[in-house]
Each structure stands twice: as structure tokens, then as C-alpha cells.
Chain A
Amino acid sequence: MNWADLNLLPASTELFMLTAILLILLVDMCLSDAKRGITYGLTLLTLAICAVVQVSTYTPYPVYAFSNMFVADPMGGMVKLAMYATTFAVLVYSRQYMTERGIFSGEYLALSLFALLGMNIMVSATHFLSLYIGLELLSLSLYALIALQRDSVQATEAAMKYFVLGALASGLLLYGISMVYGATGTLFLADVAKAIAGGSANHVLLVFGLVFIVSGLAFKLGAVPFHMWVPDVYQGSSTALAMMIGAAPKLAAFVFVLRILVQGLGALVADWQGMLVILAVLSMAIGNITAIAQTNIKRMLAYSTISHMGFLLLGLIAGTPEGYSAAMFYTIVYVLMSLVGFGILLAVSRAGFECEKLEDLRGLNQRNSWYAFLMLLAMFSMAGIPPLVGFYAKLAVIKSVVDIGLVWLAVVSVVMSLIGAFYYLRVVKYMYFDDKQDNSPIVVRADMKLVLSVNAVALLVLGMLPERLLMLCVEAMKQSLNAL
């Protein structure tokens, strides 16, 4: 290895982030609990600087670092920016909640950043090993984050389940990767693609590996039948952690899947397309139908996430650049919606009270009409009701499968989203048509109120003007995929 090959500039954001995390850890050691705000401020500052560095090192074409094991391309850059914003929002939303529960610690903030760093690596990796390192960094941080609440039985159980099943999934993924390595003799995605295209690889071995890779990826996305951890982990973890797991990691997982399936195994599209169809249909069906039966809103949102992952897969199934950008759009929109949903739950929760049951939202409109309205926006958007942006997200992915002639799949997804509308609208019904049973005021810090409002109103504004974001996704996808 020579130093010139390292070419560290494209990875400057990640390098800065790592340095900052270490600094934050050091600084935090010297702080008492009362001064935790300093760590918090430093963390948010880090995120802001990362975003600035990300924008200033933007290139309209891919550039490589670490001997080609790391890439900075427009798609990755855009997703990373979305992840910084998401993490920022997550931290702002969760501050009060975590403080009230006594777990607003330096570890929480540092681990969140470590998870973000892992996601950044996942997004930028071009080599199976760097991909895996990123994934593990993310996963380990998340396990630890959930277990932070160590005297809670539920949280420990959730962390344990997530860890064991995650290890199994990692095993499946690694096994699949080893098969691909056996067939192609390389771990570089680009070289894998070349080897398959060249016809030198053993097809049976590849497909065998592919099944395991898809299974491992499906676990990360939370697609049926690899979804069972999702509801348990959502319910067991604190609401703030459930929000964190459901937000930025989905963005990273999306790019992760795209890099492996499209950039590495793109030539096997006919095979993975079929697998993803099964996963997508099952996810949409089981996610939406089971969500109806839930009384715990966190579980309901977990199943909702599962169904959204099914929709996201539709865009990948298409196997076209339009489909990929539609899926990217869907992921970003999904994250925005889920942040609002969980944000409201956090806002309604207070010390000694967890907003977990659907009934806890009863009469929210009478208690605070603004938060009820924000939740209404999120629910309508998730249900896919125009003019909210969720409608366009669904429209885009469904259109991409119609374009490749899979009309039956489009019909199935529309029917499923119709079923899904039921439980989203039920939340609205609880908020607006039932009488309140809880009179305690909803106290929320001003910064959270501001960010949450902007976040929710963005659903409406993006719904009115979806063109800009959609075009950004299309452009980023085009520039990143063309380079291959």
C-alpha cells in the first residue's frame, strides 16, 4: 500500500467525524451530569460541520479513497446529508425524553455519532469488507444504545434479541459474500460486476450466495420474513431509540442494498428481482394487515415500517434508474414521516409516562391542536393521501413497477396501501373524534417544537412541490450509476 492511493480527501467528512467523536468522549469525561448540555451542543455542532464539509467536498462524479475501497459520489453525498439532518432531529427530539429518564449521557451522544459513522461507511463502501465494517459499526452501536437503559428489563431483552438475530443475519450475509468471493475471486464490487459480466463466474454458486446476501439485507431493512425483530425491538427500546433505529439506518440500508445488488450483482438482476418481489409482497401484506391488530402505537409503527420497506423494495424491483431514484425518494420521505410520528410520541410522553398505547393519543386535538395537526400530517402522508409527499413517494415507486410491466404488483401494493390507510386514519380518529382522558399539559422545549414543526410542515410543502427533491434524487442516481 502506498500513501498516494489512500487519497483521503473524499473521506474527509468521516475522518473529521471520527476525530470529533473522540474529542467529545474526552470532553464528556470531565463534565458533570448538569453540564451534559455542552456535550449535546458539541454533538450538534459536529453534525453541522459534517454537513458543511460534505457540501464543500461535493463532486458531481464519484471519487475514490482508501485504495478504491471507499467512494464519495453524489448519491452517497445526498443520503449522508439526509442522515446528518435525521440524526440532528433525532437528538433534538430525544433530549428532553432522555433527560427525564436519566439516560441523557455522553455515551448516548457518542454512540449515536458512532452509529452515524458506521452508516457513512456503509453508504460509501465499494468493497465487501468495508461494507461489512460499516454495518457492524452501526449494529454494535445500536445494540449498545438500546442496552443503555440497563435497569429496564424490556430494553435489555430488546437489545439481546436484536443482537442475537443481528448476529445470525450477519452470518447469513458473510456466508453469501464468501460464496460470491468463491465464484468471482474478488471482494471489490466493481470487479465482482466485471467478473459476472465476463461469464467466468459459476452461476450456481453465485445464486446460492445471492440468496444468503438477500436474506441478510432483508434483515437489515426489516422485510418479511426477516422482520420479526422489528416490532419487539421497537416496543422494547425507549421511544427515542425506536425512532433512531427507524430513521437514519434505513437510509444507510437502502444505499447498502443498492451498492451490493445493483453495483455489485447487477448482472443477476433477473434472480434478485424475483426474490425482492416475494419480500415486497409479503412485507406489504403482513406489515399492513398486522398493524391493524396492534394496540401499542410503537408496534403499530413497527409494522408500518415493515410495510414501507415493502414499498421501497418496489423501486429496486424495477431494476431501472427511475426505479432506484424512486426508491431513494421513498426512503427519504419515509424517514421524514417516521421522525414526525415518533417525535409526537416523544412530545406527548413525559417523566413517568410513556405514550405507547393508541389510547394515549385520545383527544390530542383538545389537548394541543398544533401537535395533533402535525401528527395528522404524518399519518395522512404515511397513508399516501395527496397533497402530502407520501402520496408522491408511493406514486413514484408504483409507477416504476408499472413501467416494467408488473401491473399485478402495482395493484397488490395499491390494495395494501388501502388497507394501511385504515390504521393511519384510526390514529387521526383517536386524536380528533375522541375525548381527552389525560389533562396534563404537553410541555415541549422550543427548539424541539421548531424542528418538529418544520419537519412536519415539510411533508406538506414537499407534497405541493415534489419536483425539486425528486429531480435531485434522479440526478444523484444518474451521476453515481453512470460511473460504473
Chain B
Amino acid sequence: MMSLYLLIALSPLVGSIIAGLFGWAIGRRAAHVVTILGVAVSAALSLKMLHAFLTGQAEVFNAPVYTWLTVGGYEFSVGFLVDSLTAIMLVVVTSVSLMVHIYTIGYMQEDPGYQRFFSYISLFTFSMLMLVMSNNFIQLFFGWEAVGLVSYLLIGFWFKRPTATFANLKAFLVNRVGDFGFLLGIGLVLAYFGGSLNYADVFAAAPALASKTIQIFPGVEWSLLTVTCILLFVGAMGKSAQFPLHVWLPDSMEGPTPISALIHAATMVTAGIFMVSRMSPLFEMSDTALNVILVAGAITALFMGFLGVVQNDIKRVVAYSTLSQLGYMTVALGASAYSVAMFHVMTHAFFKALLFLAAGSVIIGMHHDQDMRNMGGLRKYMPITWITSLVGSLALIGTPFFSGFYSKDSIIEAVSTSHLPAAGFAQFALLAGVFVTAFYSFRMYFLVFHGKERWMENHDSHHAHDEDHEDEEVTADHHHGLSPDETPHESPWVVTLPLVLLAIPSVLVGWFAIKPLIYGGFFKDSIHIDAVRHPGMTELAEEFHGPLAMVTHSLTTLPLWLAIAGVVTAWVFYMKAPQIPAKIKSTFAPVNTLLEKKYYLDEIYFAVFAKGSRALGTLFWKVGDMLLIDGLIVNGTAKLVGAFSGVVRKLQTGFIYSYATTMIVGVLALVTIWFAQLILR
């Protein structure tokens, strides 16, 4: 089995290395062939493994692969833990990655950094696989940072665009905040949980620590498990872009669209969700941490949805939708419905990758114009993109029989069964979120695919639209847009094929997977739920009577009607009476401004953290660096070393007698020291 798992993890790495280091030699075609081959091998083997887990043939595999070093009793090793949770993630990661690889052939066709791009996305796949297959915290952290690094590289892929470098720096810095918490959490685990970083050892040590407290500030006792869990969750907040660490994700859209689909929608951002699910034995022991998770998720789910309503950039709408959906998953974690969260991770990966890739296809058709106000009526010109987008949107808003319906409804049900204090608020936020989701999704859908063909109207308008984000240079060099006398064309098959292939699971996977995944005990070996304190999942299981019953039941519940209301409202606003949105905008100008400014969070962060740290940096630079370090230590040391070398050089005369003298002096000194000691003794 070990060699199989190694093959899964390493074949993308091999592809990445070949494309990255020898891309210049082997050319574009070979670069994409070799990377796609690597990921395809991984994907095929992952599917085989998932099948084995679903049919109960596979056993949980937990073994070290390679010990890197042992220091003072701590072992740093690479090890694989492959169970049902890993299997699901493996399939999601490799299959979406494979689609994105194929899609990239079309999307990046003319880009000079073609081989580099393929190398990066394969490297990303490898890092993500290492993350999900890890059996210990060190490797988890390695994968965590590695995916962050590749994400950084890819957001800034067009590194000549100032907005892209700004965005990747921002993503990097915000993730540092999360990672700091994560690292502190891992530190606590290492310090208190039996001195091992292996999941199995840590989970085994946890029950004994249930009532252990630590003092962070003198005199205040904190529950160890709560502090550890919250710190670990801070890491998840950074990676999975939960409020208030979400600010990097919308900006990450500066990267090429394929990676928005792969990294910033389907896989990397779900690493936080995966991590919390993996740590379920710890989180189950701290209700406080679960409450925190509920609140953070609920805020993200609702308030990021609001922001999606006012966006005009097609990718940003999908980005905010991703944030909101990540909030849903987080809420599911807080309600102890880890399996439901993972289920939503899976369905969301398919339909959100689909939506992103479809948006990318639209962008190709519009000649890299991303403003929805210049689109409209595209369904005539891009039929495949149109249909698949519609499928994706229907799945996203939770239309019965579509995959999103099953996962999202399960999350809402799970929250309603949770007894935690924050569950009420979370439930309200999720329900309101359903309406908002439906509204912005179909706002986008109608603006892009229906209505008038607006690029023909006033071409200059879209140059001035970007007052809310700093796209001016970009517009100049990259987003040339469509001229009025052109019509968009459907994208080539390498672009549309992944759309079709992703549309299939977006429709079907919910119907087929909900029973085995959530109610079939699939995760029993990997997710631990304290059924006494958090009986939600047990109650949910009693109410479940098959996927068809869920649909009939939904007719009598709120979410479905809220979603329908959202779609209808969008239709009225943007198809029937386009004057209404403008009217609302002017009537509630302050609210609109608040949303367009994204709750002013960027400004606050910039003013407080960025400026603050710059001021601090300047202080350190002037006083610490210039005066102390440069003046005293660096130059001082250099002078000292110089003077010292001078003295030594004088001693090193080249004459034997001076060397012999030094030796004799050395002996004399030693003799003196030791005889002085003997006498003093």
C-alpha cells in the first residue's frame, strides 16, 4: 500500500520538477503532457482508493515513511495517514486538479510563462496531497505552508502587474497571521500532549487533559483544550479565509482563473475545514471553541454573501460566493457535523470549480474583460459555457436534486439540531445567506448570459468602471475587452471539456453520495463525535430517509423558498425592472458604500496594521538597525574583526621562532591556569 500512496503523492511532484526545471528544454507541449500525466496517475489511483474505502475493502493506513531527524526525543518524520477522510480529499484534489490542468492548456495558451504555470499547479497538487495525507502536525504544517507558498506564487503569477504583486503580498501577510496562531497551537500540542506530534498519540493523550488548565496571563486559568483548539482554528481562519482574516481571498483573483478555481475555491481554502475535521477528537472536547467556530462561520457566510451582491467583476462575485460557502462549511464544523462539512467541501469543490472555470471561459470570450456590465446575452454565443454555468449556479443555490442542495440543506439541518448557544445566530445567518446566495448567483447569471449585449453599446464605459479596485494599469495592458463590432466565441474544447466533466458531478454527486458519506458510517474511523454532548448528527440520522425524501421534505421548509425568492428577485431586478437596483442604490447610499468598501476592513487593516507596522519598522530601522545594529554591531563587528585579524596576522609572521614561541606560551598558560587551580584547591 505504501508504494501506492507514495505514487499518488509523488507523481505530481515529478511532473512539476520536469516542467519547472526542464520546461525550457522540453517545450510547451511536453510540459503540459508530463504534468497532466502525473496528476492523472494520482487521480486514477485516488479514485481506486476511494472505491476501496466505499466498498469497505481498504484499511486505515497509518505508518511513517521517512524519519528526517530526531532531536531531543522529538521526531520529525514524514508519515501517511490514509483513511476515508483522506480518500475523499484525495479524490477532490486530484480530480479538480486534473480538470484545471486540462483547462489551462486553453486558458494560458498565449502566456509566456506556460511551463512555469504547469509546474506550479502540479507542485500545488503535490503539496496539497502531502497536507491531506499527513499523519503528524509537522508534515501538516509543511503542506500548509507549501500550498500557501504556491498560492503566493500563483496569485502573483503575472508579476509585472502591480495589483498582482500587491495581492500576493497581502495574501502572504494575512496568512502569516493565521499561521502564527496555527504554529502556537502546534506548539501547545507539542508541549502538553505527550510530547509527540503524531495525530494518533495526540488524540490518545487528549482525554486525560480535558480539565487541564494553563495560565497565559498570570492568575487567569484557561482550559488547555480550548486555547489549543482556538489557536488551531485561527490557522484554519487564515487558510480558509474566515472573517476577519478573509480579506486576502477576493484580491487573490488577480491570479489566472484556473488557479482561482483550483486553489482559491476547490482545494487549498478547504484545507482549514479538512484540518478541523481531522482534529475532531480535540475540537469535540471544547464547546467554547465550537462556539467560536460557529460565530466566525456564520458571520462569513452571511456578510460575505452581501458583498457578492455589489460586485461587478465576474470573478469577484464568485470569490465572495466562495467565502460565503466556506462560512457554511465552518458552521457545519461548529455544529459537530464534520462529515457534513466534508460533504459540502466535496460538492462545493465541483460546482465552484465549474463556476470559476465557466467564468474564465466567459473572460476568454470577452477578451479578458471581467466587468459584467459589459456582458449580457452571451448564451447565444457560448452555449456550453452557458449551460454549464446554469448547472453550477443551480447547484450553488441548492436546487433540489443538485449536489449543492444535499450538502447545504444538511448543514442547515445540522445547525438546527445543535444545542450550542451560538447555534441560533448561525442558523439565522445561514437561512438569510440562502436568499443572498440565490440573489447574487442569478444576478450574475442574468447579467452575463441574458439581456442586452452591452459590449456593443458604449465601449469606453468599462475603462472608467474600476474606481473601486485599482485596476487601471491592468485595464491598459491586459483587459483589452471586446470591441463593439466583435462577437464572443465559444472557447476551445480543452476549456469546455472540463466544464462538462465538472458539471456531471455537480449535478449527481449529492444524490449518490449523501447516504454513504454522512449516514453510512463512512467516516467512523476518522471523525470522532462526542454523541452525548453533541447529539446533532444522531438526530439528523434519525430524520434521514433517503435523497428523494429530502427533496419532498424541502418543499415544506424555508431554505428552498428563500432560494426561489432570491432567484425571482434577481430576475425582477435585472431582467424586468433594471431601474430598481439603481433606485435602491441611491436610497440606501450609505449601505451601498459600506458594501462597496467591503465594510472598510481593508482600510482599517491598512491604517492600523500596515501603517502601524511600518511606523514600528521605521522606528526599528532608524534606532535599532541604523544606530545599534549597523553602527554598533555590524560595522562595529567588522571593525573589530578587522582589527582582530590584523593582530592575528601580525602573530602569523611566517617565522618558525614566533610560532614556536606561541606554542610555548600556550603551554605555559595552560600550566599556569591548572597549577593555580591545584593550589587554590
**Interface residues in chain A, defined as those with a beta carbon under 8 Å from any beta carbon in chain B:** 160-161, 164-165, 168-169, 172, 203-204, 207-208, 210-212, 214-215, 218-219, 225-226, 228-229, 231-232, 271, 274-275, 278, 286, 289-290, 292-293, 387, 392, 395, 399, 419, 464, 466-467
Q: How many B residues have CB within 8 A of the partner chain?
A: 30
Chain A residues near B651: list those with CB within 8 A: 228
Q: Are A164 and B641 in contact (CB under 8 A)?
A: no
| Residue B112 lies at the interface, judged by CB distance under 8 Å to chain A | no
Q: Are B670 and A289 in contact (CB under 8 A)?
A: no
A219 CA / B662 CA spacing, docked (Å)? 12
Q: Are B659 and A289 in contact (CB under 8 A)?
A: no
Residues of A contacting B: mostly: helix
A135 CA / B659 CA spacing, docked (Å)? 21
A275 CA / B644 CA spacing, docked (Å)? 23
* The residue from A172, A275, A293 contacting B645, defined by CB atoms under 8 A apart: A293
Q: Are A165 and B670 in contact (CB under 8 A)?
A: no
Q: Are B674 and A207 in contact (CB under 8 A)?
A: yes
* The residue from B68, B665, B674, B675 contacting A225, defined by CB atoms under 8 A apart: B665
A176 and chain B: residue at smallest CB distance? B667
* The residue from B654, B659, B671 contacting A208, defined by CB atoms under 8 A apart: B671
Q: How far is the CB of B75 from chain A (nearest CB, A)?
A: 11
If the complex has contacts A289-B644, A290-B648, A293-B645, are A226 and B663 also in contact, measured as CB distance less than 8 A?
A: yes
Q: Are B67 and A467 in contact (CB under 8 A)?
A: yes
A278 CA / B666 CA spacing, docked (Å)? 11
Q: Are A225 and B663 in contact (CB under 8 A)?
A: yes
* The residue from A169, A207, A274 contacting B663, defined by CB atoms under 8 A apart: A169
A292 CA / B645 CA spacing, docked (Å)? 8
If the complex has contacts A161-B656, A225-B665, A229-B659, are A286 and B72 also in contact, measured as CB distance less than 8 A?
A: no
A271 and chain B: residue at smallest CB distance? B674
Q: How far is the CB of B6 from chain A (nearest CB, A)?
A: 15
A228 CA / B651 CA spacing, docked (Å)? 9
A selection of 17 A-B contacts at a CB cut-off of 8 Å is: A161-B656, A164-B660, A165-B656, A207-B678, A208-B675, A214-B670, A215-B666, A225-B663, A229-B659, A274-B673, A275-B674, A286-B648, A290-B648, A399-B71, A419-B641, A464-B68, A466-B69
In the complex, how many residue pairs between chain A and chain B have their CB atoms under 8 Å apart? 85
Q: Are B660 and A165 in contact (CB under 8 A)?
A: yes
If the complex has contacts A211-B674, A231-B652, are A165 and B645 also in contact, measured as CB distance less than 8 A?
A: no
Q: Which residues of chain B (238-285) have a CB below 8 Å from chain A?
A: none
B70 and chain A: residue at smallest CB distance? A467
Q: Which residues of chain B (616-674) have a CB below 8 Å from chain A?
A: 641-642, 644-645, 648-649, 651-652, 654, 656, 658-660, 662-663, 665-667, 670-671, 673-674
Q: Are A161 and B659 in contact (CB under 8 A)?
A: yes
Q: 5 tightest A-B contacts by CB?
A: A293-B645, A225-B666, A228-B659, A215-B667, A211-B670
Chain B residues near A207: list those with CB within 8 A: 674-675, 678
* The residue from A165, A204, A271, A467 contacting B659, defined by CB atoms under 8 A apart: A165
**Interface residues in chain B, defined as those with a beta carbon under 8 Å from any beta carbon in chain A:** 67-72, 641-642, 644-645, 648-649, 651-652, 654, 656, 658-660, 662-663, 665-667, 670-671, 673-675, 678
Q: Are B72 and A399 in contact (CB under 8 A)?
A: yes
A164 and chain B: residue at smallest CB distance? B656
Q: Are A225 and B645 in contact (CB under 8 A)?
A: no
B642 and chain A: residue at smallest CB distance? A293
Chain A residues near B675: list those with CB within 8 A: 207-208
If the complex has contacts A161-B659, A208-B671, A289-B645, are A232 and B666 also in contact, measured as CB distance less than 8 A?
A: no
If the complex has contacts A204-B678, A278-B670, are A215 and B663 also in contact, measured as CB distance less than 8 A?
A: yes
Chain B residues near A203: list those with CB within 8 A: 678
Chain B residues near A214: list those with CB within 8 A: 670
Q: How far is the CB of B537 from chain A (nearest CB, A)?
A: 44
B681 and chain A: residue at smallest CB distance? A203
Q: Are A292 and B641 in contact (CB under 8 A)?
A: yes
Q: How far is the CB of A322 from chain B (nearest CB, A)?
A: 12
Q: How far is the CB of B71 from chain A (nearest CB, A)?
A: 7
* The residue from B67, B656, B658, B667 contacting A211, defined by CB atoms under 8 A apart: B667
Q: How far is the CB of A160 from chain B (nearest CB, A)?
A: 8
If the complex has contacts A161-B659, A164-B660, are A172 and B678 also in contact, measured as CB distance less than 8 A?
A: no
Q: Are B663 and A290 in contact (CB under 8 A)?
A: no
Chain A residues near B673: list those with CB within 8 A: 274, 278
A219 CA / B645 CA spacing, docked (Å)? 21
Chain B residues near A292: list those with CB within 8 A: 641, 645
Chain B residues near A232: list those with CB within 8 A: 652, 654, 659
A48 CA / B663 CA spacing, docked (Å)? 39
Chain A residues near B659: list those with CB within 8 A: 161, 165, 228-229, 232
Q: How far is the CB of B203 from chain A (nearest CB, A)?
A: 27
Chain A residues near B656: list those with CB within 8 A: 160-161, 164-165
Q: How far is the CB of B651 from chain A (nearest CB, A)?
A: 8
A450 CA / B654 CA spacing, docked (Å)? 38
Q: Are A226 and B666 in contact (CB under 8 A)?
A: yes
**In this complex, which of A210, A218, A228, A419 has the most chain B Cβ atoms within 10 angstroms of its Cβ?**
A228
Q: Are A290 and B645 in contact (CB under 8 A)?
A: yes
If the complex has contacts A168-B660, A226-B663, A399-B72, are A215 and B649 also in contact, measured as CB distance less than 8 A?
A: no
Chain A residues near B649: list those with CB within 8 A: 290, 293
A395 CA / B74 CA spacing, docked (Å)? 14
Q: How far is the CB of B238 from chain A (nearest CB, A)?
A: 26
A208 and chain B: residue at smallest CB distance? B671
Q: How far is the CB of A210 from chain B (nearest CB, A)?
A: 8
Q: How far is the CB of A391 from chain B (nearest CB, A)?
A: 9
A464 CA / B69 CA spacing, docked (Å)? 9
Chain B residues near A164: list those with CB within 8 A: 656, 660
A320 CA / B670 CA spacing, docked (Å)? 23
5 extra A-B contacts, CB within 8 A, seeds A208-B675, A219-B663, A292-B645: A169-B663, A203-B678, A228-B663, A289-B648, A467-B70
Chain A residues near B71: list those with CB within 8 A: 395, 399
A229 CA / B653 CA spacing, docked (Å)? 11
